[in-house]
Structure formats: structure tokens, C-alpha cells
């Protein structure tokens, strides 16, 4: 019997579906979300908050507070700087400028007095000697003050050091000239001329350089004290505009006319801004007045007084040298000291004319006009003395220069006294006006800071009252 063929058993699992073959790269896992920066999150929160009225109010309050506080802070900062510069003008740079002028004047007067004493010879008066010693002490004391206020390594310090070195050398030359002159030795005149050269060519130029540097410092302090505080003014106007907008918005949304906090903030800001503008305008006017009618007059008068001292010194030295010093100008020979005397008198006349024009009242012009009259008489007497000298009458020329009656010495002393009085008056005018300018800024930095804080608090209070309505 034949059996049908049997099917072979399928292997286990043969009937199951085979797993599909993987194709391509495996699927990557999802990346974690990228973390945003704090600024981006803050901006997003701000945008979200701005979609609601409470959020908008918070933003408005923050902006108002920042603007007002910035206004107060910048005002306090700028006015502190200007008040400090105005105080420097009054108590530091102008006194140092006048001190530098006094150094120059004292040195020039000492040189003039030394030549006058030399001409008197053994008849030198105690007053003349005391005046010379006082001038030397004054110059030395003013140099100490200038050195204490100069910056290390500055040009002023170099000029002061040079003068401190030259002053003892000059005194030694003058003393030698006096000793030889009393003994009747002609070499005394040579020593005095050498001392004068040291004074004219080294010491006075150094003193002039110091005076110029101190004047530049004074001008710098003025330029720091007088400019308008535009940054503070602009911030104040922006703060006022923002406050006005906030109040207008409040009125349109609530139909309420006033928000007490915003009104108080606006009032404080207006007061601060007006105080700033008016106070600085008054300060600027006072400082400008102190410069135009004080410093300018003082500079001109200092120059005029120095010119008179130099003229007097050259007048004396022309008799000491007796024609030994000459100068060639335009093909002609002149006595060097007479030639310089004429230049100094021209400078003196020009300075007196300018000082009279700058004087803004009778009290200021009176001593200047008197000095002009003294100068005219001085020139007439000098012409007579020069004529006697050129005619060979030395004693007559000497009497007309240092004599006790109708001498040029009287005219010089009158010019010097009147210029000293004019300087004292202009110094008073400067101090009064500079003090007014500085005082106009007194309290403004602290007041602006306090009002700024009060205004910012008022703005936040006003916004807070509106926010409380949403709770």
C-alpha cells in the first residue's frame, strides 16, 4: 500500500512574519528646548504685562521714576561741578593770579628801589632800604604760596623753582653794588647793571610766565563754572513731558481731572527745573560780571603798574650807566635805558586808557584818571631831567629824578599809589560779584537731589493709586 508523501514539518516560527529590515540612520531623540536669556525672558514678560492695564501702569511708573531720578542726579552732579569751579575762581585761582602779579610787581619794585638807593649813594634813606627789603620778603612769601598750590611737574612749578634760585643771586649782586658804591668804587655801577640784567632777562620773564600760567588756570575755572547744564535741562524737560503725557492718559481713561501723586511730581520737577535755570543764569551773570568788571580790570591795572615800575627803574639806571649802555634802532644810536623808558611809558599810557574805559563807575575811574594826570607831569619832568643829562649837568639831572622837590620820584609815587588804590577797588568789585555768582548756586545740588527723590516718590504714589483700583 502506497502512502502519500507527507509534508515536512516547518521549522519553528516559519509561519511568523519576518521582522522588517531597518533602512537609513536611526531616528534622533528630541533636543531639549533652548534656554532663553534673562533679557529675552524679561522682554517677553514686559510684552505680556503691557497687554493689560495694570501692566501698562507699572511700566509707566517705572519710566517716570527713572526719568525723574536721572534728572535729579544729573542736576546735582553738574551743579556740584560748577559750584566747585566758582568757589575755585573766588578762593583759589584768582588769588593765585593776583599773587603771581604781586611777585612780578615786588621784584620790579625791588629793582627800582635798589637803583634809586644806588643813585642816592651814602644818602640812601632808611625808608628806601626798608621798601627794598619788604619787596624781597613779599616776593619770597608769595613764591612759597604759589609753590604750595602748584601741581608737581607743572610749568608753574618750574618757574617758581627758577625764581627761588635767582632771588638770592640777585640780592647778592645788589649788596655788592651797594658796598662798592659806598666806598666810591665805579665797579658798583657795573654790579648794579648786572643785577638789573638778571632781573630783566631772567627773573621778570619767569615771573611773567608764572603770571600767564595762573591766568590760564583762572580762565579754565571760569570755563568750568559758566556753561549751561544742558544735560540736566534736557532731562528735566523730558521728565515734564512724560509726566504731562501720563496725566493726560489718566484723564482720558478715568475722566478724572487730577492725580495727586502725578501733580505733586510735576510740581517738584517744575520747581527743580526753574531753580536750575534761574539759579545758574544768575550765577553765570555774577561770574561774567566778576570777569568783565573785575578780572579784566585787574589784569590791565597790574600791567600798568608793572610798566610804571619798569619805567622808573630805567629812568634811574640811565643815570647810573651814564650813557654806557646803548641800543641801535633804525640806524640811530639811543641810550638803552632812555629808549626802554619811552616804551614803558607808552605801555603805561595805553594801560591807563584801557583801565579808564573798563571802569564802570566813578569810584573805579577816579584813581585811574588821577594816575593819568600824574603820568603827564612825570613825562614833562623826565624830559627836563633828560635835557640836563644830555647837556652834561649830571647833578641837575639827578636832582630832577630823585630830588626832594618837583622830582620825577614824586610823580612815580603818585602813579603807583593811585594804581594801588584802583587795584584794591577792582579787587573788591571782583569779590562781590564772584561771591554773588557762587552763592546763586548754593544749595542747588542738594535741593535738586531731594526734589528729585520727592518727585519720583510722588509719581510712584500716583501710579500706585491707579493700580489699587484693579485689586
User: Looking only at Cα atoms, what is the longest distance across the chain?
Assistant: 188
* CA-closest candidate to residue 247, choices 22, 419, 462: 462
Residue 1 is predicted with a pLDDT of 43
Which set of grid coordinates corresponds to residue 266? 510735576
Q: How many CA atoms lie within 13 A of 310 on its CB side?
A: 23
Residue 34 is predicted with a pLDDT of 64
According to DSSP, residue 323 is labeled T
Residue 358 is predicted with a pLDDT of 92
Which set of grid coordinates corresponds to residue 152? 608737581
For the segment 427-462, what is each residue's pLDDT rounded down to a tens digit? 999 999 999 999 999 899 999 999 999 999 998 888
For the segment 24-42, what is each residue's pLDDT rounded down to a tens digit? 555 555 556 666 676 777 6
Cα–Cα distance for residue pair 440/417, rounded to 1 Å: 35
Whether residue 422 contacts residue 282, with contact meaning beta carbons closer than 8 Å, is answered with: no
Which set of grid coordinates corresponds to residue 460? 510712584
Residue 19 is predicted with a pLDDT of 47
User: Rounded to the nearest 5°, which phi and psi values hold at 146?
Assistant: -65, -40
Cα–Cα distance for residue pair 420/111, rounded to 1 Å: 18
What are the pLDDT tens digits along the chain (471 aa)?
444 444 444 444 444 444 444 445 555 555 566 666 767 776 776 676 666 777 788 888 889 999 999 999 999 999 999 999 999 999 989 999 999 999 999 999 999 888 888 887 756 778 888 999 999 999 999 999 999 888 887 888 899 999 999 999 999 999 998 888 888 888 888 898 899 889 988 999 999 999 999 999 999 999 999 999 999 999 999 999 999 999 998 888 877 777 888 999 999 999 999 999 999 999 999 999 999 888 999 999 999 999 999 999 889 888 887 766 777 777 788 788 888 999 999 999 999 999 999 998 899 999 999 999 999 999 999 999 999 988 889 889 988 998 888 899 999 999 999 999 999 999 999 999 999 999 999 899 999 999 999 999 998 888 887 777 776
Distances (CA, A) of 364 to 159, 245, 291, 306, 352: 33, 55, 15, 19, 12
CA–CA–CA angle 224, 227, 233 (5° rounding): 125
Residue 32 is predicted with a pLDDT of 61
C-alpha dihedral over 199, 205, 211, 217, to 10 degrees? -150
pTM of the model: 0.77
Residue 9 is predicted with a pLDDT of 45
User: Rounded to the nearest 5°, which phi and psi values hold at 325?
Assistant: -110, 120
* CA-closest candidate to residue 276, choices 235, 241, 244, 246: 235
Residue 403 is predicted with a pLDDT of 85
Rg (CA), the chain: 42
C-alpha dihedral over 108, 110, 111, 112, to 10 degrees? 90
What separation, in Å, do the N-terminal and C-terminal C-alpha atoms of the chain show?
104
Which set of grid coordinates corresponds to residue 425? 577797588
Residue 161 is predicted with a pLDDT of 93
Element (H, E) at 326: strand 326-329
Could you identify the residue written with the cell 561770574? 287
Whether residue 146 contacts residue 210, with contact meaning beta carbons closer than 8 Å, is answered with: yes
Cα–Cα distance for residue pair 61/463, rounded to 1 Å: 6
Whether residue 265 contacts residue 68, with contact meaning beta carbons closer than 8 Å, is answered with: yes
Amino acid at each position: 500500500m502506497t502512502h502519500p508523501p507527507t509534508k515536512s514539518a516547518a521549522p519553528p516560527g516559519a509561519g511568523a512574519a519576518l521582522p522588517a529590515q531597518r533602512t537609513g540612520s536611526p531616528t534622533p531623540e528630541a533636543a531639549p528646548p533652548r534656554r532663553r536669556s534673562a533679557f529675552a525672558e524679561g522682554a517677553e514678560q514686559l510684552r505680556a504685562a503691557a497687554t493689560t492695564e495694570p501692566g501698562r501702569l507699572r511700566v509707566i511708573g517705572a519710566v517716570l521714576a527713572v526719568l525723574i531720578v536721572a534728572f535729579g542726579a544729573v542736576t546735582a552732579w553738574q551743579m556740584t561741578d560748577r559750584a566747585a569751579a566758582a568757589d575755585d575762581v573766588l578762593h583759589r585761582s584768582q588769588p593765585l593770579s593776583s599773587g603771581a602779579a604781586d611777585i612780578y610787581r615786588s621784584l620790579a619794585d625791588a629793582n627800582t628801589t635798589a637803583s634809586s638807593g644806588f643813585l642816592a649813594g651814602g644818602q640812601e634813606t632808611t625808608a628806601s632800604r626798608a621798601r627794598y627789603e619788604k619787596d624781597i620778603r613779599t616776593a619770597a612769601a608769595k613764591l612759597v604760596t604759589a609753590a604750595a598750590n602748584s601741581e608737581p611737574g607743572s610749568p608753574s612749578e618750574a618757574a617758581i623753582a627758577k625764581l627761588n634760585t635767582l632771588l638770592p643771586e640777585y640780592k647778592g649782586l645788589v649788596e655788592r653794588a651797594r658796598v662798592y658804591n659806598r666806598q666810591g668804587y665805579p665797579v658798583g655801577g657795573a654790579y648794579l647793571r648786572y643785577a638789573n640784567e638778571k632781573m630783566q632777562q631772567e627773573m621778570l620773564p619767569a615771573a611773567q610766565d608764572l603770571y600767564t600760567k595762573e591766568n590760564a588756570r583762572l580762565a579754565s575755572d571760569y570755563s568750568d563754572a559758566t556753561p549751561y547744564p544742558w544735560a540736566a535741562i534736557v532731562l528735566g524737560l523730558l521728565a515734564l513731558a512724560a509726566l504731562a503725557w501720563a496725566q493726560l492718559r489718566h484723564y482720558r481713561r478715568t475722566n478724572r481731572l487730577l492725580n495727586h501723586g502725578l501733580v505733586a511730581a510735576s510740581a517738584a520737577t517744575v520747581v527743580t527745573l526753574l531753580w536750575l535755570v534761574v539759579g545758574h543764569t544768575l550765577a553765570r551773570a555774577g561770574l561774567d560780571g566778576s570777569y568783565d568788571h573785575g578780572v579784566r580790570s585787574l589784569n590791565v591795572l597790574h600791567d600798568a603798574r608793572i610798566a610804571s615800575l619798569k619805567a622808573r627803574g630805567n629812568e634811574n639806571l640811565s643815570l647810573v650807566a651814564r650813557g654806557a649802555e646803548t641800543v641801535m634802532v633804525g640806524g640811530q644810536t639811543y641810550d638803552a635805558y632812555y629808549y626802554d623808558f619811552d616804551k614803558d611809558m607808552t605801555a603805561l599810557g595805553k594801560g591807563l586808557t584801557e583801565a579808564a574805559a573798563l571802569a564802570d563807575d566813578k569810584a573805579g575811574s577816579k584813581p585811574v584818571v588821577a594816575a593819568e594826570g600824574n603820568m603827564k607831569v612825570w613825562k614833562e619832568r623826565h624830559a627836563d631831567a633828560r635835557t640836563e643829562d644830555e647837556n652834561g649837568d649830571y647833578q641837575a639831572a639827578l636832582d630832577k629824578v630823585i630830588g626832594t622837590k618837583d622830582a620825577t620820584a614824586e610823580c612815580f609815587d603818585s602813579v603807583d599809589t593811585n594804581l594801588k588804590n584802583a587795584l584794591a577797588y577792582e579787587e573788591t568789585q571782583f569779590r562781590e560779584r564772584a561771591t554773588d555768582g557762587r552763592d546763586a548756586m548754593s544749595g542747588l545740588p542738594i535741593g535738586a537731589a531731594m526734589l528729585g527723590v520727592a518727585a519720583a516718590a510722588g509719581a510712584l504714589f500716583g501710579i500706585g493709586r491707579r493700580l489699587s483700583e484693579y485689586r
